[in-house]
């Protein structure tokens, strides 16, 4: 199982909300993605934080 999936599973097992959305064709630095794809990744992350941490 890839590291990101293991981390998300461990967080969930500890009762911590976690989403994991792998992006095909890239690594954790988003190498190889277009600017639009990178923006979508960051928007998804920002949305997660906004839902989980109101006022952050």
pLDDT given for residue 39 in this prediction: 93
Do the domain assignments include residue 42? Answer: yes
How far apart (Å, rounded) are the C-alpha atoms in residues 38 and 55? 24
- In this prediction, residues 16-26 reach a mean pLDDT of 85
pLDDT given for residue 9 in this prediction: 96
Do the domain assignments include residue 13? Answer: no
Do the domain assignments include residue 40? Answer: yes
Domain that holds residue 48: 23-56
This model's pTM is above 0.75: no
Quick one: pLDDT band at residue 1, thresholds 50, 70, 90?
confident
How far apart (Å, rounded) are the C-alpha atoms in residues 56 and 50? 7
Domain count, the chain: 1
Do the domain assignments include residue 53? Answer: yes
Do the domain assignments include residue 48? Answer: yes
Do the domain assignments include residue 51? Answer: yes
Place of tokens 């994991």: 20
- Residue 36: exposed, middle, or buried by beta-carbon count in 10 A (0-12, 13-18, 19+)? exposed
Do the domain assignments include residue 17? Answer: no
Do the domain assignments include residue 56? Answer: yes
């Amino acid at each position: 199982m890839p590291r990101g999936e293991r981390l998300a599973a461990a967080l969930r097992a500890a009762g911590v909300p976690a989403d994991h959305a792998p992006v095909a064709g890239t690594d954790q630095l988003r190498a190889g993605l277009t600017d639009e794809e990178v923006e979508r990744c960051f928007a998804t992350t920002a949305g997660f934080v906004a839902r989980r941490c109101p006022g952050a």
